[in-house]
Structure 1
Amino acid sequence: MTDVDAVKIIRSGGVLIYPTETLFALGADASDEGAANRVALVKGRPVSKPLPLVIGSMDQLDLVTKYASPEVLKLAKSFWPGPLSILVKAREELSYAVKDSRGYTSVRWTDHPVAAKICLESSTPLIATSANLSGKKAAEKFEDIDEELINSVEGVFNGKPAPRGGSPSTVVEPLSNGKVRVLRDGVISRATLMQAGFIVVD
């Protein structure tokens, strides 16, 4: 599969397995309600659990949120592109499957060249939930991807470089005055956040 094929799948409302900097991801156009719901269905993930997003550039943050607070921008400047997912108020046109009960979603600018290129060439944020059936181990290597999952999607893009594996992206909620709340521990540690000048609160 080429990146052109991957983009065609995304633009046509399909579901794609693709590599990110951390793990293989299950993805679709974040603004396509049907495709987003299919991601949750294929994975066996409760619709009440919002699906995370990746973007391919800082400019694409505008496709996810109308307003990026100074705290969001400071976090982005410190850690993007890279494995820090930041909670932001989602645009109305994004799928309900990517939003929590308050209308927020988590997004990161991926530093994986394949994932970023698909986002940019599709002109959309991509859903980026780990490519595994719910409750099973996330796929760090291509051969770890469940065959049932592969048979349930329109395509698999095994692009290089391979995901690093290990921990997933860190998910944070920006608060005021340089404070952040860690919603999920991951690649970027609390100590690293504090070294960058942020105050980590519970």
Structure 2
Amino acid sequence: MQEKKTRVTAASTAVGLNVHKGKSKIARYNIACTNPVTIDGEDLEDVKIFTYLGSIIDEHGGSDADVKAWIGNARAVYLQLRNVWNSKQLSTNTKVRIFNTNVKKVLLYGAKTWRTTKAIIQEIQVLINNCLCKILQIRWPDTINNNLLLERTNQIPSEEEIRKKRWEWIGHTLRKAPNCVTRQALTWNPQGQGKEED
């Protein structure tokens, strides 16, 4: 790790950038080595979780914490727009379009890189269905079939939407030059030893 950090620091310095000691953190994922990593003799802080470009990255490499954070953010956006959903002047189509451009965009931000399990897909779909039912003013004990709800609001299932976003991202990445870091990341195979299992 120290060698990699040294190379990053050297490459940064070569183009006029400085590595900030206070902002630099170390997150170890599947690595047995726990030696401290230093910059100019100062140890960098080891962290279990950190946020990078709006996405939460944890020591397990999963996206569950990130998905839960985006679900919370989307719920907050939905609640901030309560006056829109309760408005009698706006048509249902307009409300659904506002939902798509505000709530759904926040909810599915970064979905192209999420690890999608059935539980994650279900959590996302439940939030979408709850919001759409409230927009359509379908309250308990009234019910509506999920497929009918999606059809009435011209939506596709969240699993399909995430898959579509993922394929768009992969296509975008594959069109990049072979020497581009983004393209190389698809086939990157880190060398070294992983954690030894007990």
Normalising by the smaller structure, the TM-score range is under 0.3
**Greater percentage in strand:** 1
Higher relative contact order (CA 8 A, sep 6+): 1
Q: Which has the larger radius of gyration?
A: 2
